[in-house]
Amino acid sequence: MTGARSWWGWGLEEAAYEGEALAGIGGMLAHRFEVEASSPVDPVDPTGVALPAPRVQLPEALADLASRDAVDRLRHGHGASFREVVRALHGDVPRPPDLVVRPRHRDDVARILDWCSDAGVVCVPWGGGTSVVGGVTPPSEPSISLDLERLDAVLEIDQVSGHAHIEGGAMGPAIEARLADVGLTFRHFPQSWEFSTLGGWIATRAGGHFATGPTHIDDLVAAIGAETPTGRWASRRLPGSGAGPSPDRWLLGSEGTLGVITDAWVRVQPRPTSRVQATARFVTFDQGLDAVRALTRDGLLPANCRLLDPVEATLAGAAPPDCTHTLLLLGFEAPERDLTAETNHALELIRGQGGEVVDGPTARRGDATGTATGGAGAWREAFLRGPYLRDAVARLGGIAETFETACTWDRAHELVATLRETAQRAATEVCGGAVVSVRTTHAYPDGVAPYLTVIAPGPRTTGRPGPAVGRAQAAAWDEVKVAVSEVIDAASATITHHHAVGRDHRTWYDRQRPDPFARALRAARSELDPAGILNPGVLTDAAVGPRSNA
């Protein structure tokens, strides 16, 4: 990663849409929604934003780890959801952390947690700050944002077992670069990959961009080390174990509430050298879903198996603007091996569901990570640019956000249709119009993960540029989000397949999880963190207060 990180929006400042590109997006929105083109809002100068003075200070022994810098605090005062970004753009960051603290070593983490517990100061663990669910947003209590960027080392590589021991603050590109030196890859590529960390992936159960097989971080972790307020938690690295409930599975998805993930042993692998890709099209999205189901039910494990409705295919540049077909981007990857049998089996199933193969199959050999071509290449590029487009739409007064879920196949067709309609209706009610696109991100033998994008012209606002505008945009999205979340809940689908719970999904998460589990989780949390300092409000409510030294 080079260049300066945006303090308010996604990724790198230099990668944001500006000038003509930004105006072009504004023109497209105006054309599509038949509204007047908006002038883009410029982000406020962060050095001019008035912030309350820090309410806490670290003891002298730790003081040099802390930053009181206002822009630093602003940047750590919000995550990367549309609702937070559109407000930050206007300098509206209601609860910045009092301090940003950057430990140099895991022992620092233990000392910081100790101090937080004694002082009753909230600790919000921060990886890359890419949470889209309010997972890194400080609550109202005095707080620190614990930025793990200095714990970024690849500590050890065990080439025999295919394991790497990596610190929690290491980001995607650094991990892959180090592993590539020895011919290996972690092969975990969430959309946020450039800007997010191993610890963050584990804490939020991140999903990689591969559609099937071991793509979730859950399956790629062999051991986890974490600091809790009451001691270090470190599991043995093992290929498998049946010794009680898996300790790692307790930390996976714990979202900073049980401990701060300082390091992990992860499963790495030889770089794949055989690849096949193909694109098929279907008259309807439902036919495409049936084809994906057939593939996964027959035990095929395509690396890419992404179904794009016509809107998504067009938005992503994978199809021309007049496309009316659903596209399926299909790819297999493996170490040097002939993939013809799997590919032919897959294409046969696709044709059996009415699909037409329009590109490929094309086989390639050699290490060629990230060199997808054709529809898959265009889609991948758009995928990585998506969050920047979202920021551009935010600046243009519009709405651009995504949501996702997963459900079993028996309800997939109906849920996708209902979600599409609900998002369209809710966004149109609030904004006067909307474009809703659907894709699938992950496929299983027993179900699928649909992912929807909503772009809308934004609510009518009459005021001058300023925080009220951003709040109105955020509120407009919130109305859409509530509507679709209720549909997800009513279908007994999951409120999140790979975006995590954070603070934003609590309403529906609380309905989804078994009640005794919620009580057990709270009890576990209280045991490990008696002062309630670890990311309160995430997953469960927690009362913060200095621990008694009884």
Q: Which of residues 333-352 bind its own copies (CB under 8 A)?
A: 334-335, 337-342, 345
Only segment of 377-385, 416-424, 432-440, 522-530 that touches its own copies (CB under 8 A): 522-530
311-324 per-residue burial string, b: 16 or more CB within 10 A, e: under 16: bbbbbbebbeeebe
The residue from 250, 377, 381, 461 that contacts its own copies (CB under 8 A) is: 250
Q: x/- contact string, 391-410, with its own copies (CB under 8 A)?
A: ---------------xxxxx
The residue from 447, 470, 532, 537 that contacts its own copies (CB under 8 A) is: 447
Work out whether 94 is an interface residue with its own copies (CB under 8 A).
Answer: no
Q: x/- contact string, 157-196, with its own copies (CB under 8 A)?
A: -x-xxxx---------------------------------
Burial class (CB in 10 A: 0-12, 13-18, 19+), 550: exposed
The residue from 173, 183, 231, 352 that contacts its own copies (CB under 8 A) is: 231
Work out whether 202 is an interface residue with its own copies (CB under 8 A).
Answer: no
Which C-beta is closer to its own copies: that of 313 or that of 501?
Answer: 501
Q: What's the angle, vertex CA 59, arms to CA 46 and CA 171, rounded to 5? A: 55
Asked whether the beta carbons of 407 and 36 are under 8 A apart, the reply is no
CA 120 to chain centre: 30
Handedness of CA 203, 208, 211, 214 (dihedral sign): negative
Sites for its own copies among residues 483-502 (CB under 8 A)? 492-501
Work out whether 369 is an interface residue with its own copies (CB under 8 A).
Answer: no
Sites for its own copies among residues 258-297 (CB under 8 A)? 258-259, 267, 269-270, 293, 297
Sites for its own copies among residues 408-437 (CB under 8 A)? 408-410
Rounded CA-CA distance 97/431 in Å is: 33
Q: Strand 269-270 vs strand 447-456: parallel, antiparallel, or unpaired?
A: unpaired
The residue from 91, 96, 253, 288 that contacts its own copies (CB under 8 A) is: 253
Q: What is the DSSP code (8-state) at residue 512?
A: H
Q: What is the DSSP code (8-state) at residue 192?
A: T
Residues touching its own copies: how many (CB under 8 A)? 97
Only segment of 37-45, 61-69, 81-89, 514-522 that touches its own copies (CB under 8 A): 514-522
Q: What's the angle, vertex CA 173, arms to CA 134 and CA 262, rounded to 5? A: 60
**Minimum distance, C-beta of residue 78 to its own copies, in the bound complex (Å):** 21
Only segment of 16-24, 244-252, 394-402, 457-465 that touches its own copies (CB under 8 A): 244-252
Q: Strand 269-270 vs strand 260-267: parallel, antiparallel, or unpaired?
A: unpaired
Asked whether the beta carbons of 545 and 269 are under 8 A apart, the reply is no
